Structure 1
């Protein structure tokens, strides 16, 4: 009969193996995209036999999904920590100054998370190049509660007259996210074209605030 400590040790080893495999998979998927990534390469980077990868994740698609789910979980935890205190305010969607501050926090959160997850940026770039065919296969595995929550909040703010009439909540979310994503994706190219450092901490901070201003001023009504 196994000792409890041995079982804990095996559980710890399994957790470490999963983490190493996910880290390696994220690196390889970011470098080569889903189609170009090979399980052999992921196993080599992780330092584990590929049979263990199949044991944990079934196939390459299962591994890809697990990588994205881990990133999504990290985003959800960050969002809960930063936004929940703001969401608890009953006046959030009726007070212009509170809602404006909330939108700025959301934009900063999106931008900073993308900056801190460059491999995610590259994986999304590969998805776009491959026609989002892989994402379509696994999209149903991801929770859309956060999107629905923001949609309801934006709808309430619009009813309260804080957001311009006729502005579509889904379009707002799309513009907010894609603006951050596009800026960070094309920064290396623009640095070449403009011969200017656009990726320093100060430059990124300025860009983040300008994007927030662009989105907020574009959707909110003018103050009375």
Structure 2
């Protein structure tokens, strides 16, 4: 007697395989874009690294730009999951933009979470630096646009109105400062490691996070509140 496998089981198996295949391709693509930049990364190299042919990559992602878009999208979503939980309590209760002590804790928390995420995802950090070197030309073409500045800008505006952020500071610079202080510091360790020590040392990590947070706090908050 022939046993017919339920249609639902077949569909679930195919779905699982497709998801797994996409993950493998995205991993290979992320490594290629991180090591070579968008312009130099080739689809055939990514296909070989992933173990799948180019036609399947085109089927799933359309073209090279579509593949790159999905790499950026996945990294952004992972970043949201990694950093979002730590600052959710602050965002649920916006009273922290009226309380200097709470706002300072917010700056310390977001600095730590951003720094640790980038340190633990070096390929994404490399992609950001490739984009910066190429004047963000590819980044501005992708359909998925990570919005990591709007909410921070709005929070900074509100904190400024409440007298927490210094009045001579442009709140539009707030999210830029947060991101660039962390990315630039991590990148600089490759150059100054002999003087600063090993970045992966727990002690050095804590010291660096503390130094960045202190710099940001003293740069954006009213001196009278420190």
Q: Report the equivalent of 1:203.
A: 204
User: Relative to structure 1, is the Cα distance of residues 87 and 43 closer, same or farther in structure 2, using a 3 angstrom cutoff?
Assistant: same
Counterparts of 1:114 and 1:125, CA distance in 2: 12
Q: Report the equivalent of 1:124.
A: 128
Aligned pair 1:216/2:217, yes or no? yes
Q: How many aligned positions are there?
A: 221
Query: Is the 1:197–1:203 Cα contact (8 Å) retained in structure 2?
Result: yes
Q: Report the equivalent of 1:85.
A: 89
Q: Report the equivalent of 1:74.
A: 78
Q: Report the equivalent of 1:184.
A: 186
CA RMSD of aligned residues (A): 1.8
Q: Output the TM-score relative to the length of structure 1.
A: 0.92
Q: Report the equivalent of 1:3.
A: 7
Map 1:157-168 → 2, pairs under 5 A: 157-168=159-170
User: Relative to structure 1, is the Cα distance of residues 90 and 175 closer, same or farther in structure 2, using a 3 angstrom cutoff?
Assistant: closer
Residue of 141, 145, 148 corresponding to 2:144 = 141
Map 1:24-35 → 2, pairs under 5 A: 24-35=28-39
Q: Output the TM-score relative to the length of structure 2.
A: 0.92
Counterparts of 1:109 and 1:198, CA distance in 2: 16
Counterparts of 2:74 and 2:207, CA distance in 1: 29
Displacement after TM superposition at 1:198 (Å): 4.0
Counterparts of 2:11 and 2:196, CA distance in 1: 57
